[in-house]
Structure 1
Amino acid sequence: MRGSPVKHTLKARLLATAMTAALAFGVSSAAQADEKPQYGGTLQVATVNRALNVLTWDPADWNWKINHDTGQFYEQLFSADLSKSKRNGGKYPYYADAWIPSDAVRGELAESWEMKENPLRIEVKLRKGIMFPEKPGVMASRELVADDVVFSYTRLDKSPKKIATYFDHIEKVEATDKHTVVFTLKSFNAEWDYRFGWGYYSGIYPKEVADAGAGNWKNLNGTGPFMLTDHIQGNQNTYSKNPIYWDKEKIGGEEFKLPFVDKVVYRNIKDEATVTTALRTGKLDIAEPIRWSDMEELKKSVPQLKWSKWLSMNGQFVAMRIDTKPFDDIRVRRALNLAVNKQEIVKAYYNGHAELFSYPQHPDYDGYYEPLEAMPASVKELFTYNPDKAKKLLAEAGVPKGFSFKVQVCTCQPDHQDLLPLIGAYLEQVGVKIEIQPMEYGAFLSAMTSKTNAAGYMMNNGHTNPTTTIRKSFVTAQTWNPSQYADPAFDKKMDAAYQERDETKRKTMLKEMTIEILDKAPYIWLPTPYIYTAWWPWVKNYAGELRAGAVRPGPIYARIWIDQEMKKKMGF
């Protein structure tokens, strides 16, 4: 194939959607000092994960998405302090999938916490008077107590689906009185607050729910601002206001009981055109993930919409199994990186709405991320198009005529289904052919977690946070390690980073590890796209925030209100 595969394939689409001028995006403050919150109404949201159905309701299944679906009613010990958001004059946009800076963590169920020595432990004092609502057939209304925290942790820890090493730093968890939980540690872990405080698997729920069946949505009950009152698989989740919810929001010096809206509805919509139509017609209040091409059209056709722009918190790549020939040879892996014109993908495929380099560390991770220009020449080379050198490396590795391999891709990622053939076209120019295998999400995820994935595996993977982004993908035998990367020396460096209490030193260690893994090229590193969030101006107390913990938007939605009069005046 001659010329640019991107340009040949996308010319018509780019001509139809390209804009002649750059768009400037500013996040405007949704809540003005003179606006008083309104109660009532329904908030309709196409969330970041709108294309994925509920994967499980049971925390013991250790599924990454559970906070997204249960975080409206399962609260955690900690969450993000939304008073420090940019909207409120702070410095944090709260886009990150699982990163709360250390100065932006607030107690949710925890009123206070303290780390103590001899033995090393964290003592957590719970807020008093937080109630589980009544759940007919499951439980009577009662107070949340320390035993609920111990139960939730213990059930998670004993699950056969537990992520290996995740709680290895914890010796025991016990309730020392009705409102005190003590985590006794075997060793310090830099992620102690994330691992069972505000992380992916940190939801607190009562034993009564587990006894009734934690996998059945009709049995679920928590202390959060909403209760799950309806679920239609593949269509929507409906969360209704918890009338006895404990938390409040201070606005204009006055405290208001949360939540403001009567209902939050998650809309499962896979088709991007359907999302834009639903938003345009007011059937959606918020559409969290919008591709640049749809954004440009919507900016023209619906100028009333408000917008935020965020660099995706998912790194994207084609993983190459290093335990499979010829990918056990670093020259092959580097060759495939050189064969793909990543700069052209940014310019032509994404029309400039992407960054060439922002994974595995994300630019939001202040002090952990280093830009490409600060990287060694050997890393910079991997982001430079050089098909001649790619052919030379392949010849040196003993595959001068190239080879073919299978690449699995998820049907839940329309962007990847468009992009992967273009990557294949680049690779074909150096004699490497790919066989694309589309898979539904369940089978796709299972292939990786069971380590039966193909030699090639294209995916999005959350940056998560500065330590986990390295650990989960590049430490031996970890669940989210599609390249099956394994290096005992690298594993020891990861252990040392977790045990380092000085964050400044830890930042240096992780920078060095990031350079090492980039250089070893277990992936074809790909650009990271910008994503756009749109909402109608009647959505108040909101500026595009996405998560207040690991993939958990619940505390954000609880603080939104709908200006019913404005919505009516706008004809909806």
Structure 2
Amino acid sequence: MRDANRRAFLKHTGALGAGAVLLPSVASCGPESTIEYGDSGGASSTLTAVIGYGNDGSWDPTQTASAFSMAANHHVYEGLLDTDPISREPYPALATGLPGPRELAGTSWRFTLREGAVFHDGRPVTADDVVFTFDRILAPDTRTLAQGFFAGWLESVRRTGARGVELVLRFPFPEGVSRLTLAKIMPRHVFSRPGAWDEAIKGLAVGSGPYRQTAHHPRSNTTFAAFDGYNGPRPPAFRKMNWLTIVDAAPRVARISGSHAGAQVADNIPYANIEQLRGTGLSVAGAAGMNNLFLMFNTGHRPFDDVRVRQALRYAIDTEKMVEVALKGHGTPASSFLDEGNPAYRRAKTVYDHDPDRARALLKAAGVSGLKVDILSVNVSWIVDCLPTIKASWDAIGVRTTLSPQETTAVFTKLDQKRDYQVVAAASNPNQFGLDADLIMRYNHGPANLWTGYTRWAGAPVARRLFRDMDRATQEPDPELKKAMIQDYVDVVAEQAVLYPVVHNELMTAWDPRGLTGIRAQPYPGINLLQAEPV
């Protein structure tokens, strides 16, 4: 079970009528298999979107960190509460209301489900479905990604009636309210079937949200239709949606520009194309947040077990040049694990300003010479643009560097299979999951999560101390003291540089204002169309 769940993480994740469903049995031939459903009407228009990330990652909401599938799941599924895509303020989704101040100060949150809420196969959403979903997340033997966001503070979820549930907390944790959007409620009758979780990994998605998935073609596109049975707070505005996955920058830009443009909105717009697209009448807007290029070292592969070597390679990178050349000014060198806009941000005690002399001195002190490094990298377009600066910087201090960009799924399959590597360069954005610093830090540095396993670092004494500090901060009731405790352990993460950002960058979204309104650029990958409308 655990190996299957590891593969599910980061490989980065339909009704014929009101009372009928066509649930696919996904073929076992791997990611090239497709899922097809029936079609229906609803809403008023058709929208085509271009996503600059692969759609062949896991679609299991309890597991996925895939930018494409996470964005899609917000349209297909609902949590008890969901959050605004920009402010991340919670609002009632399947639940009829938010916890009040007295509940937030306590350890019991009660919710009533929206009357008339149904899944895409026409079956009603019940308290049993909520309990089923949270049992999946909290079960220690499943080791889901979502478990790291809930298990530390949520003890259990129980049924109080056909449409009533109670969440029992280990201690008061008001921050947990905004995390409930990460627990997308899944139909028990669908996902309790043998093999259903493997189907969810490959693309099976059946929720209660405003859109239902109608077809899924890995590495090509995923289509959606308005769900006529939806009666919640974010009704569908488009009759159909077709989301194309185009990882390469040039064809992605071509698809939204020119007289024969085939899409109305696209994310991950290259900085070099901003003015070109604006010149054709498109709106292009950016948003800054936690999006970052990070380097991850294999501390089980010498000499990367030596903190001096990791620090040396960080000091060697000319981050200002990277921002200027690769990011066209749309970014900042990392001065903390957190971005400067995060409410818990504080400049770290260790900041890796460009200092090649210090880098050489640290390598010499570590007794390292003639080092050769191969950077295993994802092929996300803006990451590929940044890699030459890293290579030139490391070559300049005598570290012979080669670049090995590959598809994201290929990179993380190697990591899941525990293959040896030296350094990984990839994109990350914990803002996909939320804004609170406790969640962000646990996403990458939790004691039992996949990232910590990838780095082979969990057993180090400094790592064990870090995990204890994280637990104490999570349970601290005073908000200001909690923030200070988090800032202190962020300093440890900065000093150790095992998995740490190089730059934080701005993400650009483009859309045709002649056809769409209500689009907001978000500071994490993907798009959210729940408040967009056709013009």
Report the TM-score, using the length of structure 2 for normalisation: 0.80
Instruction: Name which structure has the greater RCO, CA cutoff 8 Å, separation 6+.
Output: 1
Alignment of 1:391-470 (within 5 A): 391-399=360-368, 401-411=369-379, 413-449=380-416, 451-452=418-419, 454-464=421-431, 465=435, 466-470=437-441
AA at the equivalent of 1:352: G
1:229 to 178, 193, 214: 214
* Alignment: residue pair count: 473
Distance apart, 1:291 and its partner CA: 1.4
1:392 is paired with a residue of what secondary structure?
Answer: helix
Distance apart, 1:230 and its partner CA: 1.8
Cα distance per residue 1:44-88 (max 9 Å; x no partner): 1113xx331232333455555543233322111111247xxxxxx
Distance apart, 1:116 and its partner CA: 4.7
1:110 is paired with a residue of what secondary structure?
Answer: coil
CA distance in 1, matches of 2:322, 2:268: 20
Cα distance per residue 1:447-476 (max 9 Å; x no partner): 334554512111112133312222232343
Q: CA RMSD in A?
A: 2.9
CA contact (8 A) 2:106 2:171 kept: no
Higher CA-based Rg: 1
Distance apart, 1:192 and its partner CA: 2.8
CA contact (8 A) 1:315 1:461 kept: yes
Report the TM-score, using the length of structure 1 for normalisation: 0.76
The residue number in structure 2 matching 1:79 is: 82
CA distance in 1, matches of 2:157, 2:526: 24
1:266 is paired with a residue of what secondary structure?
Answer: strand
Does the alignment pair 1:41 with 2:45? yes
Cα distance per residue 1:124-169 (max 9 Å; x no partner): 2222222234x3xxxxx23322111011222343463424655243
Does the alignment pair 1:559 with 2:535? no
- Structure 2: gaps spanning 5 or more residues: 1-41
Cα distance change on mapping 1:309 and 1:488 into 2, 3 Å:
same
The residue number in structure 2 matching 1:283 is: 262
CA contact (8 A) 1:307 1:544 kept: no
1:557 is paired with a residue of what secondary structure?
Answer: coil
Cα distance change on mapping 1:463 and 1:391 into 2, 3 Å:
same
Alignment of 1:139-218 (within 5 A): 141-158=122-139, 160-163=142-145, 165-166=148-149, 167-189=151-173, 191-195=175-179, 197-199=180-182, 202-211=183-192, 213=196, 215=199
CA distance in 2, matches of 1:445, 1:230: 25
Alignment of 1:290-309 (within 5 A): 290-300=269-279, 302=280, 304-309=281-286
Cα distance per residue 1:247-266 (max 9 Å; x no partner): 356xxxxxxxx212101211
2:110 to 84, 103, 123: 123
Cα distance per residue 1:395-415 (max 9 Å; x no partner): 11112x34113321123x133
CA distance in 2, matches of 1:510, 1:449: 29
Cα distance change on mapping 1:496 and 1:44 into 2, 3 Å:
same
CA contact (8 A) 2:517 2:534 kept: no
Distance apart, 1:359 and its partner CA: 4.9
- Structure 1: gaps spanning 5 or more residues: 1-37, 83-92, 95-99, 136-140, 250-257, 564-572
Distance apart, 1:223 and its partner CA: 1.5
Distance apart, 1:175 and its partner CA: 0.6
Cα distance change on mapping 1:453 and 1:264 into 2, 3 Å:
farther
AA at the equivalent of 1:170: L
Does the alignment pair 1:386 with 2:355? yes
CA distance in 2, matches of 1:190, 1:325: 43
The residue number in structure 1 matching 2:308 is: 331
Distance apart, 1:211 and its partner CA: 4.7
CA contact (8 A) 1:286 1:533 kept: yes
AA at the equivalent of 2:50: A
CA contact (8 A) 1:209 1:219 kept: no
The residue number in structure 2 matching 1:51 is: 53
